[in-house]
Amino acid sequence: MLLAVEIGNSHISVGGFDGDELVWVAPIATDTRRTGAQVAMELGGLFRLFGVQAAACTQAVVGSVVPAATQAVLDGLRMMGITDVLSLSSGVKTGVNIKTEQPRQLGSDLVANAAWACGHAPLPCVVVDLGTATTFTVVDESGALTGTAICAGVQISLDALKSCTAQLAGVTLQAPKHGVLGRNTGEAIKAGAIYGTAAMIDGMVARFTQALGMPPHVLLTGGAAQTIAPYIHTPCEQVPHLTLYGLADIWRKNQA
C-alpha cells in the first residue's frame, strides 16, 4: 500500500492507495508542535481504524505547504517502518511543465493538482481547490501550468467576519434558507459565503477563458467543494481528494 500525505494549513490528509484506487482517507489536524513520535502514534491509530497491516505499507509520498510540520511527518513515517518516502520538492519528476516565474515557490498542492489534471482531464483545465485557501491552478492546452490565483478560503472569510466585526456572529457553512436574499444576519452571512464564493469561481473561470482563448475544463475539489458546487453556474467536475491522487501520480512517475 502507498500512503499519500498532504500537509495542509488546517489538516494533514492521509490516504491509502491499493494500486490506483484510494481505499481510505482520513484527516489529522495540522500542529507544528507535534513530534515524529506523535505522528507515528496517529498513523498507527489510522492503520488500526482501517484494518491496515503496518508491514504492508512501506512506501509514501508527501506534499507539504507547512514546512514547520514536514520533518515530524517524515520522522513519523520512518518510525512506522516506511522508509521509501518521496517528499515533493524541486528535482522531483512531476510530469508538469511549470511556466510560472518562480517554480520553486509553487505550493506542492498546486503542483499535485496540475499533475492529476494533465493526466486525467481535458485540456485546458482549471483546478479549483476549496480548502483553507481557495486556489486556482491553470493548465493550458499543451499541459503547461501557466499560472495560479490564490485567495482566502470560505471558512477563513467567515472566521474573519466573526473576529473583526462587532455585531456579526459565527455561522455554519451551509446554504441559507431563502436563497441569495438573506432575511436575517445569519442568513445574510451564509448567502454571502455560499453565493459569493460561487460567483467568484464563475467570474474567475470567465477571466481564465479570456486569457486562454478557449473555455477550460473545470475540476472542483477541497473540503468546501460539495457545499459550494450546487451554486456554481460554470459546469464543473467534482473530484474529491484530487491532491492525494496527484501526489500518487507523481510517486508513480518517479518509480518509473
Give the model confidence (pLDDT) of 134-146 as tens digits.
Answer: 999 999 999 999 9
Which residues carry out catalysis? 109
Decide: residue 19, CB within 10 A, 0-12 exposed, 13-18 middle, 19+ buried: exposed
- How far apart (Å, rounded) are the C-alpha atoms in residues 47 and 60? 14
- Tell me: pLDDT of 6 over 70: yes
| Residue 166: per-residue pLDDT | 62
Pick 203 or 54 by higher pLDDT.
Answer: 203
Q: How confident is the model at residue 155 (pLDDT cuts 50, 70, 90)?
A: confident
| Residue 110: per-residue pLDDT | 96
Looking at residues 66-72, what average pLDDT do you find?
96
Average pLDDT of the residues of the chain: 93
Q: How confident is the model at residue 128 (pLDDT cuts 50, 70, 90)?
A: very high
| Residue 47: per-residue pLDDT | 95
- Tell me: pLDDT of 35 over 70: yes
Amino acid at 113: N
